[in-house]
Structure 1
Amino acid sequence: MTEKTAVTPETHNAPPARFSHGVRKGNILQVAGQVGYLPHVEGQPATLAGPSLREQTLRTLENVRSVLEAGSASWEDAVMIRVYLTDTGHFAEMNDIYDAYFEEQGIKEAPAARTTVYVGLPAGMLVEIDALAVLG
């Protein structure tokens, strides 16, 4: 049986509850929901990248990428991405940001994706993204 390993990049704050930023088991890596926090600075509280959807989405995608890389994966290994928005009015803008980001990353085949509206994020947070990757 393959061992389950927690994945936490050095750039990330400790999770606020008992969960991991990512978990790898065999060739499967599940990235937990990431938000637009700037890289962790010792002794300082978590800080959002900014108030705009663009700032938060780009930072969130980079945070997902950091977990993928810490788990020995890349965007090319991602088979599913789930995006959670807090406002239905953000769908078009998020899609534009998402498309441009992945084009810039040079992704050959886009992963499956799903976007839904979720109103349970803390105040000020506009987007959360998780990913499932299969390595090898």
Structure 2
Amino acid sequence: MKTIITTPNAPAPIGPYNQAVLNNGILYTSGQIAINPKTNELVLDTIKAETTQVMENLKAVLAAADMTFNDVIKTSIFISDMHNFAEINAVYGEYFNEETAPARETVEVANLPKFVNVEISVIASK
């Protein structure tokens, strides 16, 4: 059964999609960018601050589904410049236990929504 997951603690969708969908115990999140849900403003001060906001948005969506980063089985990271990979990876790594970290792909893309530097989505399961 498909259940739509929403929370005011993550940015509202900016198009025809939902923050996440739970289906048969598996959570699929939409890609999160660094929009502060309290101000609706982008956090672009540094790549570290931007990535932290993305991860906090994902944390809020996971919490809305009664999950945590421990439940994440796959992540997809899209970045606009592979030169930012090390800084993004350092922040990302703060949210996962290295021994049980999820599978992941990281892809450099030409552009992202609102011309941000990083977008991340996750798949989680309990």
The answer to whether the 8 Å contact 2:9/2:61 transfers is no
Q: How does 1:1-136 map to 2 (within 5 A)?
A: 3-41=1-39, 46-99=40-93, 101-102=94-95, 109-135=100-126
Structure 1 residues 81 and 58: CA distance shift in structure 2, 3 A: same
Q: State how far apart, in whole Å, the 2-side matches of 1:86 and 1:37 are.
A: 16
CA distance in 1, matches of 2:2, 2:64: 14
Aligned pair count reads 126
- Structure exhibiting the larger radius of gyration computed from Cα positions: 1
Give the CA deviation at 1:50: 2.8
- Give every structure 1 segment of 4 or more consecutive aligned residues whose post-TM-superposition deviation is greater than 2 Å: none
CA distance in 1, matches of 2:74, 2:6: 20
Aligned-residue Cα RMSD (Å) equals 1.7
Rounded Cα–Cα distance in structure 2 between residues aligned with 1:126 and 1:23? 25
Q: CA deviation at 1:39?
A: 1.9
Cα distance, 1:14 vs structure 2: 2.6
User: Matches of 2:63 and 2:111 in 1, distance apart?
Assistant: 28
TM-score scaled by length of structure 1: 0.83
- TM-score of the superposed pair, with normalisation by structure 2: 0.90
Give 5+ residue unaligned stretches, structure 1.
none
